[in-house]
Structures are given as C-alpha cells and as structure tokens.
Structure 1
Amino acid sequence: MEYNKEIKNRLKRIEGQIKGVLGMMELGKDCKSVVAQLSAARNAIDRAIALIVSSNLEHCLRESLGKGEKAVELLVKSR
C-alpha cells in the first residue's frame, strides 16, 4: 500500500509537535501547556488515522478479511 505525501507531511508535523512537547518538558513549562500540546498531537493522530482508513478503506477491509479478521475490528482499532 502506498501513502500519499499529504499523510506523510501530517505525520511529520505530529512528530514536530511531540518533539516540541519534550522541549517544553525540559524547560519546565506548566502542565496545562504540556497537556494542551499533547491533546493537539492526539487529535492530529486521530485525524491522520481517519484519513488513512477513509482513503484506503476498501483495500484495508479486503486485507483484513483475507487474514480472517473482522472488518469491524479494523474500524474499532482505528478509533
């Protein structure tokens, strides 16, 4: 399966967010700011998962069914 440039760029931004959170922690930033940034990263990851699943849904479902997995399990894992 191929992943387009858009999803790879999203993941690179998420990587940057996580590195930013680590930097905030090293600088002793307050927990409210750290949690806000972690929450933003989590939301970005959720959106990336949704994009991957939606753009590759048919392929993912066929692959899962071929392995004997239930299609619903794939969708549940994605959430």
Structure 2
Amino acid sequence: MSICCVDKKAHHNEELKKKLKNRLNRIEGQVRGINKMVEEDVYCDDILTQISSIRSALSGTANLLLEAHMKSCIIDQLSGGETEIIDELLITIKKMMK
C-alpha cells in the first residue's frame, strides 16, 4: 500500500491516494449539500440523515487509511525493532473509537 512512514511523513502509492481523494471529495460534496439544506430550511430529520451518512463515509475513509498504515508503516517499524509504534497505534485506534 504505502512505503513506510519516514520522519512522520507517509508516502502513499497513487492507488491509495486516488481512493482517499475520491472518498474525501465525495464527503466534501455531501457537506456542501448539507450547508445548502440548512440554508433552504430543509426538515431537520433529513439533514440529520445526511450527517449520519457523512459520519459513516468518514469512518470508512479512516478505516481505509488505518489499514494501509498497518500494512506498511506499522509492519516496517516492527520489523525494524521499533516496538513503540504499537503504543502509537493503540492511541490512534482509541481516538477512532470515540
């Protein structure tokens, strides 16, 4: 997926970048849509449904990135003997679970 993170900078391959950018662009469009819904006084329940959809899309995007991170940076750092990466990963996962 990616080349290991060097100095806290990831080097994602083009396929992953494309997937992430597509997802984020779609989410950005959904947020713009909600903004328009608010301006047009759309029924609250309909707006909340769209917000729920965005939260789900963000979660999926985060999971995609986490998977790539685990398959590249985490494995590379563990194989290099850098076990402190596990603590960093656990902190990240806890943040994602909130």
TM-score for both structures, normalised by structure 2 = 0.68
1:40-59 to structure 2, matched below 5 A, reads 40-57=53-70, 58-59=72-73
Stretches of 4+ moved more than 6 A in 1?
A: none
Compared CA separation, residues 60 and 24, structure 1 to 2 (3 A): farther
Residue correspondences, number:
78
Aligned twin of 2:29 = 16
Identical-pair percentage: 27
Quick check: which has more Rg, 1 or 2?
2
| 8 Å contact from structure 1 (residues 53, 78) kept in 2 | no
The aligned amino acid for 1:29 is: V
Aligned-partner Cα distance in 2 for 1:16–1:34? 14
TM-score for both structures, normalised by structure 1 = 0.83
Aligned twin of 2:91 = 73
By percentage of residues, which structure has more strand?
A: 2
- Which sections of structure 2, spanning at least 5 residues, go unmatched? 1-9
Q: RMSD over aligned Cα, in angstroms? A: 2.4
> Bigger relative contact order, structure 1 or 2, given CA contacts below 8 A and separation 6+?
2
- Which sections of structure 1, spanning at least 5 residues, go unmatched? none
How far off its partner does 1:4 sit?
A: 1.5
